[in-house]
Every structure is written in C-alpha cells, then in structure tokens.
Amino acid sequence: HAFLRTSDGTMTSIAPQNAATSYAYGIARKGSIAGYYEDAGSAWHGFLRNPKGMFKTFDVPGASFVAVYGMNDHGAVTGFYRDQAEVTRSFVRDSDGTIETFDPAGSTFTAAYGIDDDGAVTGYYMDASFVAHGFLREPDGTMTSFDAPGGANGTYANGISSNGEIAGYYID
C-alpha cells in the first residue's frame, strides 16, 4: 500500500476506498499526493489525496490501466495509460480535471514521469526499433526528443526541476 511519512516520522497508510493495491509517487509542497491504485475488480485508476486525507479518483477516458507518477504544486499530474488497443500513451491532468493525452512523434510506447510547476512534462518513449528516447513536452504541447551522450541503447527521463533540468538515466 501507499504511505505518507511526515517530517516528524509519522507513517500513515494511504489508499482510496476499495483499493486492493496502491502506489504513491507524486507529492506537492503543501502535502497533496498523487498515485494510482488497483481496485477489487483488477481495474487501475489514478488518485489525488489532499492534505486533509480526502481522495479524488480519476480515469483517462478509454483507458484499461492508469499510472500516475508526477505532480506539481498546482495540482496537475502526469503519467501514462493503456488504451483500448493496448498501446501505452501519456497524459497530463490539469488541476481542474481536464485530461490531455499525447505521444511524441514516432513513439510506440510513451511514459511520462515528471511535471514542473509551469506544466512542462518529461518522460521517455520507445521507437519502432525498441530504443528509448527522453522527451520534454512544453506547456504549449511542443515536443523535444533527446538522447544522452552514449545512450545508444536507451535514454530514460524521470524528473524535471522548476529550472527545466531533467534527471534520468541511460544505457550505453
């Protein structure tokens, strides 16, 4: 199950109602948490938990699986989902609940992991040759693909700072 550890060391298990499994990945400065969970019927959903412990769950329309990884201080989250054709794609959910899906050009699999406070998203995608490339999606939707030097076998972007710095790893 997902948990929250406060700065004083207090541990709290967190899970939306009827969750069989839960994972927390994103946390905002004021304590809101984002993640995803599996329900008793084996369906996967995204969740947001506010600092008072109230949950909001959501799905990406047409998704058979939803995974939420990144959260910014404005309540926007990012992650990926599996569509009805079993293709993995990425999404951004704004604080008002609006969901926008996206894929970099040439991708066969896309996984968004980080979002900054301006709404820039980073992650990675696989091309038709099964090589992973990092991506940056600007708030206006502009996409930039990149590869780490020596990362011929894969570049995996996982987080983005408020300065636009991207952290991840590569396989040489």
The structure tokens listed for 101 are 């899906």
145: β partners: 135
Give the model confidence (pLDDT) of 85-144 as tens digits. Answer: 999 999 999 999 999 999 999 999 999 999 999 999 999 999 999 999 999 999 999 999
Give φ, ψ of 63 to 5 degrees: -90, 145
Give the DSSP letter of residue 140.
T
Strand order in the sheet with 143-146: 109-115, 121-126, 132-137, 143-146
Residues of the chain above pLDDT 90, percent: 97
Note the pLDDT of residue 108: 96
Reported pTM:
0.94
The structure tokens listed for 55 are 């949950």
Confidence class for position 153, pLDDT limits 50, 70, 90: confident
d(CA 71, CA 30): 12
Q: What is the DSSP string of 85-139?
A: TS-EEEEEE-TTS-EEEE--TT-SEEEEEEE-TT--EEEEEE-TTS-EEEEEE-T
Q: What is the DSSP string of 27-50?
A: E-TTS-EEEEEEETTS-EEEEEE-
